[in-house]
A = this chain, B = another copy of it.
Amino acid sequence: MKEAPHDASLSTAIRRFVIVGHNARTDGEFNLKDIPGTSGRLDVLARCVTAGLLLSNGIRKDTLVYLLLRGLPGPAKALRFEGKHVKNLNPDERSSSSLIQNALRIPVSPGGWLQAGPGIDVALAERPLFDKEFGGLRRIVMAEDGESIGNVSLRNAVMILGGHTDLIEEDVGLLGSEGATRVSLGSRSLHADHCVTVAHHIMDSKVG
């Protein structure tokens, strides 16, 4: 298994989403016929990957989606989906869950990302990994009690979301989000994948 390449061309215009799955299984041992019931709600994360990366006619090449999986059996793992390089990503949930499953079955050890497929990398989830990955970028946490997203610059930032539960202290420690800006998308409480879609829409609107 070769080490994942470091892409030096990643500029600050890149959009980055991190979705935390507190119960998401780390070993890929779940049943594709019952993803919500057997994977620790990896279905939520799978929908976030497609919401983050897919356009109707292609891929958002300017976007990276990270999943932080903190369920059984552990230790916690991170997955990275890079729009610029990802292939075989289809909009249906079973297909993206299958990509996640395959990546989780790769043995990992401390020290960095391993390539699991085109544009898909896996790693042990450790603070140094995220420090290196997000160094110099502001952390923005999506939270219902946060500041209106319209008032916050989303550039040079990582957007962090809970999957189907709120973030807890251990997440903050791993992701280095101690001083994060809390940002709200509006008055309604949305599913994580719908938050990703809305955040993209807002950034698309600002660009043009």
Contact = CB atoms under 8 A, between A and B. Distances in A.
A177 interface: no
Interface in A81-129: 90-95
Interface string A136-169: 0000000000000000000000000000100000
Given A35-B94, A44-B91, A197-B197, A54 B204 contact: no
Interface residues of A, number: 37
Contact of A197 (B90, B198, B204, B208): B198
Nearest to A207: B187
A201 B204 contact: no
Contacts of A32: 33
A44 B185 CA distance: 25
Contacts of A54: 191
Interface of A: 32-36, 43-44, 47, 51, 54-57, 90-95, 164, 185-192, 194, 197-198, 200-201, 204-205, 207-208
